[in-house]
Homo-oligomer: A and B are copies of this chain.
Amino acid sequence: MNLSSQTQAFVLHFGEMGSRWGFNRTVGQMFALLTVHSEPLNADQLARALKISRGNVSMGLKELQAWRLVELHHLPGDRKDYFTAAGSIWDLARTVFEERRKRELDPTLTLLRQLLLNDPQDEQEAGAQERMQEVYDLLELLDRFANALSRLDQKDLLKLMRLGSGISKLLELKGKSGSRKR
Residues of A within 8 A of B (CB): 4, 6-7, 9-10, 13-14, 17, 20-22, 35-38, 88-90, 93, 103-104, 107-108, 111-112, 115, 118, 120-122, 124-125, 127-129, 131-132, 134-135, 138, 141-142, 144-145, 148-149, 151-152, 156, 158-165, 167-168, 170-171, 173-175
Contacts and interface: CB of A to CB of B under 8 A. Distances in A.
Given A6-B118, A17-B108, A108-B17, A141 B128 contact: no
Given A89-B138, A104-B17, A6 B164 contact: no
B89 A131 contact: yes
The binding surface of chain A is classed by DSSP as helix
Contacts of A121: 4
A163 to B, nearest CB: 7
Nearest to A167: B148
